Amino acid sequence: MKKIKWLALALAVLVFFPSALLARDIAPVVSTEWLEKNLAGSKLKIVDIRKLEEYKDGHIPGSLNSFYGAWAIKRGTNQNELPPDDDLADLIRSLGIDKDSRVVIVGKSDTPGDLVGITRIAWTLVYGGLENVSLLDGGYNKWTADKKPVSKEAVKAAPSAYQPQWNKSVLATKDYAMKMMKQAVMVDTRLPDAFFGVTKMDFVARPGHVPGAVCLPSVWMYMKDGTFKAKGDVEAMASGVLGQDKAREYILYCDTGKFCSALWFALTQSLDYKNVKIYDGAMEEWTKDPQAPVVKYTW
């Protein structure tokens, strides 16, 4: 089957799912060509999440710098946690983002961690009540590879007066995940070695996965160049592992709540799954609790 990019197929989503048409006026994933043509859009907010020194070396004209670390903080011993609501609201307002903004998030695509940092911030903005949140396919790497214009002029936004309506339907706590683990579908988005329990990160206390969970790694959403795989391929992977019921509840997790955001973005923003949450504490928090069950050496 000929590969078709998400950008083109996102239009089909809008045709077949009118609710998406009502909620969005920007595709979930935009190309470098689309972004170049729409740079002057009055509602457009390009958020560059690279380090300040990288931004100063060159960025997409008009883009605002907001480093990833401001969006996902350390709370106690847990990494990549949501900031307190008040701090997150201030962060969104500081970028001039308002309810009607069309936000495009741009980052590097050098590593899998770079890629999922972009989707993690997209999830955070949706948690913050925003609907028109999009990603630049292939990130800043593809922008420069495609020889698009680059600026060194720093941009500072006038703060907005945005008052977030927190979308807590996309967030699962440990207590909630434990309560729902036999009713919802738990989805482990790490690589199979970690799911099976033969490897683990140092900060994860016990190897293995949540009992009953299925495995669908987030990194499988991407091509080697950091662009997304064709929507048809992603949809086939999702339906093959999760089934066809897009109204069922799914709770996604990984090691820290960062990598699972790529699958969350694909399921909810492109494939129209209705009830998908991220367990923010993830296995880092779960495996510290002796009451939270973990199994290994089983699929």
| CB burial readout 230-258, b (16+ within 10 A) else e | bbebbbebbeeebeeebeebbbbbbbbbb
Q: What is the pLDDT of residue 157?
A: 95
Tokens of 250: 């799914």
Task: List beta partners, residue 295.
Answer: 209
Structure tokens of 142? 């593809």
**Do 280 and 81 meet the contact criterion of CB atoms below 8 Å apart?**
yes
CB 96 within 8 A of CB 158: yes
pTM of structure: 0.91
Q: Which of 137, 140, 144 is nearest to 30 (CA)?
A: 137
Chain centroid to CA 8: how far?
Answer: 20
What pLDDT tens digit does each residue of the chain (299 aa) get? 444 554 444 444 433 333 344 468 899 999 999 999 999 998 999 999 999 999 999 999 999 999 999 999 999 999 999 999 999 999 999 999 999 999 999 999 999 999 999 999 999 999 999 999 999 999 999 999 999 999 999 999 999 999 999 999 999 999 999 999 999 999 999 999 999 999 999 999 999 999 999 999 999 999 999 999 999 999 999 999 999 899 999 999 999 999 999 999 999 999 999 999 999 999 999 999 999 999 999 99
| Per-residue confidence (pLDDT) for residue 23, from 0 to 100 | 66
pLDDT value of residue 116: 98
* AA identity, residue 288: K
Contact between residue 232 and residue 189 where contact means Cβ atoms under 8 Å apart: no
In contact, 217 and 189? CB cutoff 8 Å: yes
pLDDT at residue 12 in the model: 41
CA dihedral 135, 137, 143, 145 (to 10 degrees): 160
Question: What confidence score (pLDDT) does residue 19 get?
Answer: 38
Secondary structure (3-state) at 85: helix
